[in-house]
Amino acid sequence: MYQESVQCVEAEIDFVEATYKEIRGNEARFLREDFSGTGQTSAEWIKRNKKNKAWAIDFDEEVVQWGIDNVRSQLNHPENLTYKITDVRYSGITKMDVILAMNFSYFLFMERQTMKDYFVSVKNSLEPTGIFFLDAFGGYEAAKELTEERECEGFTYIWEQATFNPINSQMQCYIHFKTDKGEQVNRAFSYYWRLWTLPELQELLLEAGFSQVDIYWEGTDEESGEGDGVFQPTKIGTADAGWVCYIVALP
Ligand SMILES: C[S@@+](CC[C@H](N)C(=O)[O-])C[C@H]1O[C@@H](n2cnc3c(N)ncnc32)[C@H](O)[C@@H]1O
C-alpha cells in the first residue's frame, strides 16, 4: 500500500534523468539513493539502462532485507544494485553522478549543524560533475494539525499531521491505511521530523559548499488547477496551501 500510495519512482527518475541531461549534457550512470527504504528508486534506475549502477543506503536492516528479497530479486541485472545498511552520513559510497534524498527523509535531521554535516558529506561523495537532488514540502497547511484522505485502488491512504510545535518546527506525522474491506492499519508509518523551509535549506546547502542551488517548482494544470507534474527552475513560487518541489544542488 505504501508503494502504491506514496512513491512514484518512475516520475522521480524521469525528472532526475532529464534534469541531469539538461545541466550536464550527458547521462548519469552512478546513483546513490540515501534513506532508500526498500530501494524502489534505485531499482527504477537500474531498469532504465544496463550500464546504470545504484547504491541504496538505509540503516534499517529489516526494511533493507525486504528490498533485497522483493525488489532486487525482480531485476534483470540485480548485480547492479547494492544495498548498504548504514547511516547516510557515513556510507563511504563516493564518486557518484547523482545522490538522492527523497520523500523528505532528510527532514529527520533536526539540528542545523547535523543537516549541514550531512550536506557536506553528500558534496564530498559527488563527482565534480555530480548533482544532488532533494525534494521538499511546505505551504500554509504544512504547519497545521490535520488529517487528509485519498482513495487508492482497494484502500484509503490517510495522512495525519498529528502535532506541530511552532517553537522548533518539529512535527509528528503518521500514515494510516484503511482497506475497502474495512481493515485498519493505524500508524503504519510514523515520522517525527522538522518542517524545514526552503530559504533555510538553500542557505545550508551553500554553506556546505555547493556552488549553485536551484528550486524546481511544479506548473499548474489550467483545467484542474492542480499541479501538472512539470517542474521548472524558478525564483518565485506560489503561496499554495500545500506544495512539493525539487531542490537541485551542484557541487
Ligand atoms: C521516509 S522513509 C523513505 C523511504 C523511501 N526512500 C521512500 O521514498 O519511500 C525514511 C527511511 O530513512 C531511513 N533513515 C532514517 N534516518 C537515517 C539515517 N540517518 N541513515 C540511514 N537511513 C536513515 C529509515 O530507516 C527509513 O527507511
Taking CA atoms only, the protein residue closest to ligand 1 atom 8 is 103
Planar angle of CA 69, 30, 32, nearest 5 degrees: 55
The 8-class DSSP code of residue 26 comes to S
Spatial contact of 180 and 115, defined as CB atoms under 8 Å apart:
no
75 and 64 within one domain: yes
Cα gap 237→181, rounded to integer Å: 41
pLDDT digits (tens, 9 = 90+) for 185-228: 999 999 999 999 999 999 999 999 999 999 999 999 999 888 99
The residue range of the domain holding 164 is 146-194
pTM of the model: 0.97
Are β-strands 30-34 and 53-58 bridged in parallel, bridged antiparallel, or unpaired?
Answer: parallel
120 and 49 within one domain: yes
Residue 12 has pLDDT above 90, yes or no: yes
Tell me the HSE value of 154 on the side-chain side, using a 13 A CA sphere.
4
For residue 225, the model assigns a pLDDT of 86
Of 105, 111, 133, the one to substitute when testing ligand 1's pocket (max ligand atoms within 8 A of C-beta) is 105
180 and 77 within one domain: no
215 and 98 within one domain: yes
Taking CA atoms only, the protein residue closest to ligand 1 atom 13 is 35
pLDDT digits (tens, 9 = 90+) for 41-50: 999 999 999 9
118 and 215 within one domain: yes
- Say how many Å lie between the CA of residue 224 and the centre of ligand 1: 33
Grid cell of 56 as nine digits:
541504496
Cα gap 178→185, rounded to integer Å: 6
- Say how many Å lie between the CA of residue 222 and the centre of ligand 1: 35
- Residues in the ligand 1 pocket, defined by CB under 6 Å: 6-7, 35-37, 57-60, 63, 87-88, 102-103, 105, 108
The domain tally of the chain equals 2
